[in-house]
A = this chain, B = another copy of it.
């Protein structure tokens, strides 16, 4: 699902339910799972923007992770319904950065925020440039569409 912000940016909203396997003996979601949820967030954003990540790979691209950061503010627990809000926060033909917010749906509590930066490469892992097929919808989502003053 896409949400249009007043700023012109597009936010993708993905939804999931915490799995038992994602909890740890502290009784909360183990931190590495947030990175998997970030992936769900960016994949669903891309799908809603018209190009599933499956298609990105079919077109010969890979988006390997260069850097990822997660700040944990509160804990998700088993069976929580989770919302992942994802934005494209930086975009070049050779690099994409996503920002994430993870909420518990029931009380809209912010549980974690994060960021991931991805290189754009070919299957040979060499740098490659994104074509307009991807740049145009991605740029529109950043909210930086060239045009008359808004």
Contact = CB atoms under 8 A, between A and B. Distances in A.
A21 B25 contact: no
A146 interface: no
B54 A79 contact: yes
A25 B69 CA distance: 23
A125 B19 CA distance: 21
A20 B27 contact: no
Interface stretch (A29-37, A93-101, A131-139): A29-37
Q: Would you list the 4 A-B pairs with minimal beta carbon distance, nearest first? A: A32-B35, A23-B25, A54-B79, A32-B32
B26 A24 contact: no
Given A71-B67, A72-B64, A75-B64, A24 B20 contact: yes
Contacts of A64: 26, 28, 72, 75
Contacts of A21: 24, 30, 32, 36, 39
Interface of A: 19-21, 23-28, 30-33, 35-36, 39-40, 43, 52-54, 62, 64-72, 75, 77-79, 125
A125 B79 CA distance: 20
Contact of A25 (B27, B33, B40, B52): B27
Given A25-B25, A53-B79, A79-B54, A70 B71 contact: no
Contacts of A53: 20, 79
A40 to B, nearest CB: 6
